[in-house]
Amino acid sequence: MKIRNRISAVALSALLAVGTLAGCADNAGQQSGKTNIEFWGWGDDAEVQVITQLVDTFNATHDDIYVNFTKRPSNTYSVDALKQLQSRRPPDVVFVGDSDIKKWGSAELDVLEDLTPYVQQSDVIDLSDIWEGQMSRFQFDPVTFENSADAPIWGLPKDLGATVIYYNKDALEKAGITVIEGMTADMVPEDEAHGFYTKDGKMYFNNSIAMTQKELVEIGKVLTQEHNPSSPTEFGYYCQWWFNFGWSVGGDDVAYFETDDPAYNGGYYEFVLNDTNPNYRVKEGETVTVNGNVYEEGEILSYHDKTQLTASQKAQCNELASMREVFDFWVSLATGKNADGTENGNNISPNPNDNIDSTMFTNQRLAMYVEGRYMVPEFRRDCKFEWDVAPLPIWEGGVESGHSGSMCISMSKNSKNKEAAFELIEFLSGPEGQRELMKTGFNVPNQKSIANSDEFLKSDLPPYNNAVFVRAAEVQRGGDWTYLPDDAWIEVWAPTLNGDVLNGVTTVDQLFSMYGQDVNEKLKDYTRKK
């Protein structure tokens, strides 16, 4: 295993009261005779209150360490924290979002400490008890950015914002849809093993079975006033991220390719979202090996491996939709148009012109809203109706997947108190910290054992179907902004997608013809191996 940094003191972090960048190390909360740890983070009021209490507990139980907790504004945190990490007096411990981790952990910036040796010696942190899709985004090579379980660990998870459907139960029932709760596919007859179905003239929604894309459109129309004037909600469904569908067929925005071209020293990244070639899922009873990677029945091949399939190997797989087909469908939910601009009537979702935010759900303009676990505190406070959660939809024939957001707790490479700093990190990321953070409703615990306990699953407050979050944590992963150290390649095309395309002004065909090559040029700027 490659260890870039030598083991020095383990550091503990706590949040300082909001202050200036230059003044962080001179905070009046420092304690003489103790190892002082500066800890930077952000969060909403409820979460920060819990973190502050955890820091107080830590301080009270450690005679030799004192943690200063600084809450920084969330809208400037990335810039402020990075600037301070690059200074002569950096914070010892910092929150790092999954959109920043590969940039801050890169060999180019080199501002974070590799936590691998600390984790190996810890009797608190058990990596096998942390969700793979959560932990993997924080383990990567600092030069190539490839994720692997053998790569350096640049942070331990603070939370997991697994993504689900939030649904308005009252709205569904007013529209004549019976909600079935807590009944998984193995608990119902085969003809009822659907997220949404009609039987004997009555409509049913099962909150424990993922809908297909076709079922989603069907229920969306029932819940959308444009299609059903009796609907109590203006819109039926809204999803921010296309890949919640795309990943169910193996889709991705970029793929990594191996090459003999010496300019790339072995490999490069390429924009593949506009690819119209099918994806492949291994048939029942079959096993397929490509490039040394073994795929068992039901597994979807990676993008790179699917391009290497022989004719006989393709015969061992079922074809799934292409990335482009799934992307086109997702756009049609807001526009009701095919990729070329022709009408298909799928419009069940608001578009940017409707000023989309969470209040559309809390004000009952929207029946189904796709978001992460972090919405729970707001919905508990503002929703004046019955609501709960259900799995993300999947493409017919695909697998459960989707996006989960996460945040990690990292250590400054230039901390002078590394051993103390890690004590704080393992406290916050370990069982005690996770149990307390869980109580806010904000996050899924990073540890499987806690998430699968009655503490999390059986809640006195909504949502009640918390098993959906556990399943999501098992299968979801980080968004496309976690692939590389910055999202410059995304910014080439995403503003047009999130504006003119979803407003029906620009077609999908036009989007990719305008920006496809530009994205690849941007990828070349910073993804080639050096």
CA distance 372 to 473: 11
Whether residues 169 and 232 share a domain: the answer is yes
Please report the pLDDT score of residue 266 as a whole number.
Answer: 78
Neighbours of 55 (CB within 10 A): 26
Q: What DSSP element (H or E) covers 382? A: helix 376-382
Under a CB-based contact definition with an 8 Å cutoff, are residues 34 and 66 in contact? yes
CA distance 405 to 410: 16
Q: Which two tokens stand for residue 503?
A: 């407003």
Closest CA to 180 of 202, 212, 164, 201: 202
Residue at 307 is within a domain: yes
Whether residues 176 and 217 share a domain: the answer is yes
Whether residues 314 and 361 share a domain: the answer is no
Whether residues 168 and 293 share a domain: the answer is no
Write the CB contacts of 422 (distance below 8 Å, at least 6 apart in sequence): 10, 11, 12, 115, 118, 122, 411
CA distance 40 to 431: 21
Q: What DSSP element (H or E) covers 160? A: strand 156-168
Whether residues 226 and 363 share a domain: the answer is yes
Residue at 306 is within a domain: yes
Q: Which two tokens stand for residue 417?
A: 């108190």
**Domain ends where: 387, 408, 441?**
387
Q: Which amino acid is at 311?
A: A
Residue at 521 is within a domain: no
Q: Which two tokens stand for residue 301?
A: 């091949």
Whether residues 177 and 218 share a domain: the answer is yes
Please report the pLDDT score of residue 28 as a whole number.
Answer: 43
Q: Which amino acid is at 182?
A: G
Beta bridge partners of 368: 167
CA distance 445 to 406: 11
Whether residues 228 and 292 share a domain: the answer is no
- Give the CB-side neighbour count of residue 90, counting CA atoms within 13 A: 24
Residue at 209 is within a domain: yes
CA distance 100 to 407: 9
Q: Are strands 35-41 and 65-71 parallel, antiparallel or unpaired?
A: parallel
CA distance 511 to 496: 7
CA distance 68 to 78: 19
**Domain ends where: 369, 387, 405?**
387
Residue at 136 is within a domain: no
Whether residues 364 and 219 share a domain: the answer is yes
Q: Are strands 93-97 and 35-41 parallel, antiparallel or unpaired?
A: parallel
Share of the chain above pLDDT 70, in %: 94
- pLDDT per residue over 305-346, tens digit each? 999 999 999 999 999 999 999 999 999 999 999 999 999 999
Residue at 272 is within a domain: no
Under a CB-based contact definition with an 8 Å cutoff, are residues 415 and 90 in contact? yes
Instruction: Give the range of the structural domain holding residue 365, as residue numbers without chain letter.
Output: 163-237+346-387
In the block, which residue shows the tokens 């949040």? 15
Question: What's 501's DSSP letter?
Answer: I
Beta bridge partners of 337: 343
Residue at 358 is within a domain: yes
Whether residues 354 and 231 share a domain: the answer is yes
Whether residues 216 and 363 share a domain: the answer is yes
Q: What is the pLDDT along the chain (530 residues), one digit of tens a residue?
A: 222 222 222 232 332 233 333 333 333 467 878 999 999 999 888 889 999 999 999 999 999 999 999 999 999 999 999 999 999 999 999 999 999 999 999 999 999 999 999 999 999 999 999 999 999 999 999 988 889 999 999 999 999 999 999 999 999 999 999 999 999 999 999 999 999 999 999 999 999 999 999 999 999 999 999 999 999 999 999 998 899 899 999 988 998 888 888 878 778 889 999 999 999 999 999 999 999 999 999 999 999 999 999 999 999 999 999 999 999 999 999 999 999 999 999 999 999 999 999 999 999 999 999 999 999 999 999 999 999 999 999 999 999 999 999 999 999 999 999 999 999 999 999 999 999 999 989 999 999 999 999 999 999 999 999 999 999 999 999 988 898 998 899 999 999 999 999 999 999 999 999 999 999 999 987 766 54
Q: Is the bond into 352 cis (omega within 30 degrees of 0)?
A: no
**Domain ends where: 273, 301, 319?**
319
Task: Please provide the DSSP assignment of 413-460 as one string.
Answer: TT-S-HHHHHHHHHHHHSHHHHHHHHTTTS---SBHHHHTSHHHHS-S
Angle formed at CA 63 by CA 57 and CA 64, multiple of 5 degrees: 115
Residue at 368 is within a domain: yes
- Using the CB atoms, write b or e for 426-436: b if 16+ within 10 Å: bbbbbbbbbee
- pLDDT per residue over 215-237, tens digit each? 999 999 999 999 999 999 999 99
Whether residues 299 and 361 share a domain: the answer is no
Domains of the chain: total: 2
Please report the pLDDT score of residue 529 as a whole number.
Answer: 54
Please report the pLDDT score of residue 330 as a whole number.
Answer: 97
Whether residues 291 and 357 share a domain: the answer is no
